[in-house]
Structure 1
Amino acid sequence: MVPTVTSRAPGKIIFLGEYAVLKGAPAIVAAMNRFATVRVSPSQQGFSLYSPLIHPEKLTFSLDDNKQPQFLSLPPEVLTKLLFFSTTFEFAVRELSRRQLPLHPAEIELDTSDFYLGKDDLKLGLGSSAALTVALLAALYEYAGISLRDEEARLHLLQMALDAHRVAQKKIGSGVDIAASTFGGVLEFQRMEETLTQPVYLEEVELPPNLYYLFVWSGTPASTSRLVKQVEEWETLHPKQAQELYRKMIDLCKTGCEAIKIGDTNQFLEIVDSYYHYLHELGKQSGAPIVSPVHQHLADLVKEAGGFYKPSGAGEGDLGIAFTNSPETAENIKRHLTSAGFTVLPLEIEKDGVQCQIKEGH
């Protein structure tokens, strides 16, 4: 009998390597305990999708001759919200066809509410689309009978999720968030040459025990794609300046990753401080508001309290991370930030990547 599968994949936060990771630099990324959840269950009435953040009602769809999901009579803004689902679903169906496995009609439920803050439904910037891509692929695979319990299957899932996410994002992004959602924990991540059979390098790392960190919400969401496009336009117009700046950022990333791996917290803190300034410089040269006034203000508050700060992700809004080597300083930073009206989020590193629960049909 066809099973009911529930999957969940964690979000992510980048400790080091924004923008430079797109140029081949190693980055440090951690999976976070906010989850995208997908439930796939057998249906007698064909395919349907329920996702309150996309549409308040259940949506029915069929598969066309190219195995692409076709939704009837939906406004353009809803179809835009369905892009990640449709792309990921199409990749899954294509792979199942290649393996000559049927995809039985299913009710599919998506839930990414974990990635939003409070009543205002502000998106936190923790990689919800990547987590959803991984969770959906995993659930559809298990639903069709493909086990994800061994390392080889996980690596295949990673590759499929990287491809699906890149297509949905119109080739913007490094895949660092996909890796965190797939494997969990803290990873060193590096993009390899497109021609290689393994598109990314991954290594599980342990953070030094005396590295303390706080995740602070800037107060506004940011558009990663818009910021990355703005930086890429500048790169095209000023290739020499871009190459020189990225060379310095890549060197910092390499040193920072080594510092983490050998447990040199003080050196890592120095790298964070330098990287913040290079992100600021990248923003100034490209015109993209990476270190926006709110991130400058947060950096000043953290510095006053004795710590180090950088935006996490594309910048402008979303999240930042405060770092220190002292638990007392960490408490002092938290007091400074909350007194200034900022929210320190109770996030924790999630050691597990995507997980599936399978309930066999009767």
Structure 2
Amino acid sequence: MVMALDSKAVAYSAPGKALLAGGYLVLLPQYSAYVVALSARIHAVVSEEEERANTHKRVTIAAYSPQFKDGEWVYSLGDGSDKSSLSPVLTSAYGNNPFLEAAIRTVVAYSHASGSRMLKKNVSIKIYSDDAYHSQDDRVTSPTTQSRFHYHLNSIRDVPKTGLGSSAALTTAVIAALFSFYLPDLDPLDPSNLDKVHNLAQLAHCTAQKKVGSGFDIASAVYGSVQYSRFAADIISNELFDPNSVESVDKFSNLVKNLVESDWKMTHIPSSLPPGLSLLMGDVKTGSETPKMASMVLDWREKNPARANEVWTLLDQSNTALVNTLYQMSTLAEKDPRSYAQLLEAGIEDSSPNILHQLRENFLEIRKYLRIMTIESHALIEPQPQTDLLDKCNQIPGVIGGVVPGAGGFDAISILALESKIQDIKDFTSKSKDSEFSDLIWLDLKEQRIGLQRESLSLYNNL
């Protein structure tokens, strides 16, 4: 479906992520995580949809994801006089989309409490995603040869995801675009508003999941590559998950506004990988059920608190060591660029000890404790096929180390490698007859420090 864009439309995009260090520990505020933002982005384009008749005091919000079969969700809202204005009713027949619905509900509530005059407008949301978020087995060409966005033969629920945080990027991009549309005098990227967008996106994401998660994926989608420590889980009360839990639309909206504009006391320190190093993400075309795995780990922790604390303390020390090594490399690159260039030239294969060997040991230590958690919790954090794949990757010249990021499982693996060797690594695995590489596809992405950003409408011409 090719749709013209209103010149008054607004477009925002948010990046995917790789949780390089801090998996599971990030659930608790005393631990920090190292999150790398990725160049794969999800885009939301919001405009007024004037062609739909606005009758019976109902407002229509129509969302389209034209890259996927049956990618249409049409919601009906009340006009603000009762709680139906905060409960999007799905009127299309293609299945629900909880993250989209929660994003709409949350930003509408905030906009209502902020006195928006745009809430009676019918709205169109067009959503686009870069290739790396989904396996590309069913990919077809895009409407224009210049487009970065490819289309799929199947519906979005039938196309495997690669585990880059698509729900967080979707929620963040939609929140930002709707925020800009409903409150046109406020710039979502202004520092005074960016935290509000973050808090709105966290609330919406938790609402969709019906629980309060760690929030690292939303933080990265908003702020980019960061060292992150979470907010207190009890800051979000259960009544904020359902507008019907309070007696009026005004009260619910004010609860949302007060929460969004409060200090969440979380930490997000801008970070980036050292120069000359690149992150490779390898899809194994499977994917994992993250909530189920997290439940298994938390159950293990509850039943074995002493042992779990022992393992988590050692894992945290390994995570901290990795981050410190990366920081030391960045400092060396800045203060002594000649020595740093010589270090990269010598590479990981150099027999004399250097900081690259230290970085590899950091990865191996992290993986050791993740495998212990795998065995003891029975959650497939680093399942054997992923262990074999990562071990094989470590034998390739130029590879420093890697992990199954985030919650682990069969999501895309993360490999840190010398930037100068990236193409050699890809060529090696594509030509190798080793069975470990048979299902491996390197995703077309890299680290991108920037989080949420506004996009030019020209990017979506003729789509």
Cα distance between partner residues in 2 of 1:177 and 1:312: 12
Structure with the greater alpha carbon radius of gyration: 2
Q: CA deviation at 1:57?
A: 6.1
Listed as ranges, the matches of 1:293-304 within 5 Å are 293-304=384-395
Pairing 1:109–2:149 present: no
Three-state SS of the structure 1 residue aligned to 2:70 is strand
Q: Per the alignment, do residues 172 and 343 of structure 1 end up closer, same or farther by CA in structure 2, a change over 3 Å counting?
A: farther
Q: Per the alignment, do residues 289 and 315 of structure 1 end up closer, same or farther by CA in structure 2, a change over 3 Å counting?
A: same
Three-state SS of the structure 2 residue aligned to 1:280 is helix
2:229 corresponding residue in structure 1: 190
Listed as ranges, the matches of 1:1-362 within 5 Å are 3-24=8-29, 25-44=31-50, 45=52, 46-47=59-60, 48-52=62-66, 56=70, 58-64=72-78, 65-66=82-83, 67-72=86-91, 74=93, 78-79=95-96, 82-102=97-117, 103=119, 104-112=121-129, 114=131, 115-120=133-138, 121-144=159-182, 145=184, 146-171=186-211, 173-184=213-224, 186-194=225-233, 197-263=263-329, 265-305=356-396, 307=399, 308-324=401-417, 327-328=420-421, 333-338=425-430, 339=432, 340-341=437-438, 342-357=440-455
Is contact 2:280–2:446 with CA below 8 Å preserved after alignment? no
Three-state SS of the structure 2 residue aligned to 1:322 is strand
Q: 2:87 is matched by which residue type in structure 1?
A: Q
Residue by residue over 1:168-197, the C-alpha shift from the partner in whole angstroms, topping out at 9 and shown as x without a partner, is 12325321111111122x211111445693
Cα distance between partner residues in 1 of 2:455 and 2:418: 39
Q: Per the alignment, do residues 173 and 192 of structure 1 end up closer, same or farther by CA in structure 2, a change over 3 Å counting?
A: closer
Q: CA deviation at 1:216?
A: 1.5
Is contact 2:386–2:404 with CA below 8 Å preserved after alignment? yes
Is contact 1:298–1:337 with CA below 8 Å preserved after alignment? no
Three-state SS of the structure 1 residue aligned to 2:302 is helix
Cα distance between partner residues in 2 of 1:198 and 1:259: 29
* Greater Cα shift, 89-98 or 21-30: 21-30
Cα distance between partner residues in 2 of 1:60 and 1:161: 21
Is contact 2:16–2:169 with CA below 8 Å preserved after alignment? yes
Q: CA deviation at 1:84?
A: 0.6
Q: Per the alignment, do residues 213 and 109 of structure 1 end up closer, same or farther by CA in structure 2, a change over 3 Å counting?
A: closer
Cα distance between partner residues in 2 of 1:312 and 1:149: 28
Three-state SS of the structure 2 residue aligned to 1:220 is coil
Three-state SS of the structure 2 residue aligned to 1:91 is helix
Residue by residue over 1:194-213, the C-alpha shift from the partner in whole angstroms, topping out at 9 and shown as x without a partner, is 56933420111232224344
Three-state SS of the structure 2 residue aligned to 1:349 is coil
Q: State how many pairs are aligned.
A: 353
Three-state SS of the structure 2 residue aligned to 1:288 is coil
Q: 1:168 is matched by which residue type in structure 2?
A: A
* Greater Cα shift, 51-60 or 195-204: 51-60
Structure 1 segments, 4+ long, off by >6 Å, are none
Q: CA deviation at 1:158?
A: 1.0
Three-state SS of the structure 1 residue aligned to 2:274 is coil
Work out the percentage of aligned pairs sharing the same amino acid: 25
Q: CA deviation at 1:266?
A: 4.2
Is contact 1:37–1:132 with CA below 8 Å preserved after alignment? yes
Q: 1:262 is matched by which residue type in structure 2?
A: Q
Cα distance between partner residues in 2 of 1:93 and 1:198: 21
* Greater Cα shift, 265-274 or 37-46: 265-274
Is contact 1:269–1:324 with CA below 8 Å preserved after alignment? no
Q: CA deviation at 1:279?
A: 0.8
Is contact 1:310–1:322 with CA below 8 Å preserved after alignment? yes
Q: Per the alignment, do residues 310 and 97 of structure 1 end up closer, same or farther by CA in structure 2, a change over 3 Å counting?
A: same
Three-state SS of the structure 1 residue aligned to 2:404 is strand
Cα distance between partner residues in 2 of 1:13 and 1:36: 15
Q: CA deviation at 1:284?
A: 0.7
Cα distance between partner residues in 2 of 1:358 and 1:141: 17
Three-state SS of the structure 2 residue aligned to 1:141 is helix
Is contact 1:4–1:40 with CA below 8 Å preserved after alignment? yes
Cα distance between partner residues in 1 of 2:420 and 2:73: 49
Q: CA deviation at 1:73?
A: 6.8
Cα distance between partner residues in 1 of 2:100 and 2:22: 28
Residue by residue over 1:274-311, the C-alpha shift from the partner in whole angstroms, topping out at 9 and shown as x without a partner, is 00111111111100111112211112202333642211
Residue by residue over 1:98-139, the C-alpha shift from the partner in whole angstroms, topping out at 9 and shown as x without a partner, is 111132221122233631121343311110000011100100
Is contact 1:172–1:225 with CA below 8 Å preserved after alignment? no
Q: CA deviation at 1:253?
A: 2.0
Query: Per residue, is there more strand in 1 or in 2?
Result: 1
Mind listing any 5+ residue stretches in structure 1 that lack a counterpart? none
* Greater Cα shift, 230-239 or 66-75: 66-75
* Greater Cα shift, 274-283 or 115-124: 115-124
Q: Per the alignment, do residues 345 and 71 of structure 1 end up closer, same or farther by CA in structure 2, a change over 3 Å counting?
A: closer
Q: Per the alignment, do residues 226 and 112 of structure 1 end up closer, same or farther by CA in structure 2, a change over 3 Å counting?
A: farther
2:154 corresponding residue in structure 1: none
Q: Per the alignment, do residues 233 and 148 of structure 1 end up closer, same or farther by CA in structure 2, a change over 3 Å counting?
A: same
